[in-house]
Structure 1
Amino acid sequence: MSLSVCTSVNSVAVHGIPSHQDLLEAGDLVSVDISIYNGLVHGDACQTYVVGVNCGHDQPSL
């Protein structure tokens, strides 16, 4: 079984080249992409989060 977890910040492509210089700040968008292959089926899911901001249902969309 193979598994990968990739992350990206703001407008960087999820499978792009990481940077050791970037630090997360409030309001940044962080995407987490998880993919798995078990020999028969490929699975992939991605979720994006806002750093340090509470985006309840009463908040406008990003």
Structure 2
Amino acid sequence: MPAGTVLAGVLVTLAFFILIGYTVRVMTRDELTAARLARTLIAIGTLVTALPTVLYALYGGS
């Protein structure tokens, strides 16, 4: 496996955990506003939408 592929996989994994941490932090606050909830849902939706393309580019595309 090329080093660039491994680095990209590590970056995708780190970005996923950062998103999960942000989601937990936002959802546990007392003053949860509609704007924060909307940003969180958009971020999760973007990740879920983009992840198959990123994984295909990393592991399936040649």
Query: TM-score scaled by structure 1?
Result: 0.23
Q: Which has the higher helix share?
A: 2
Q: Which has the higher strand share?
A: 1
Query: TM-score scaled by structure 2?
Result: 0.23
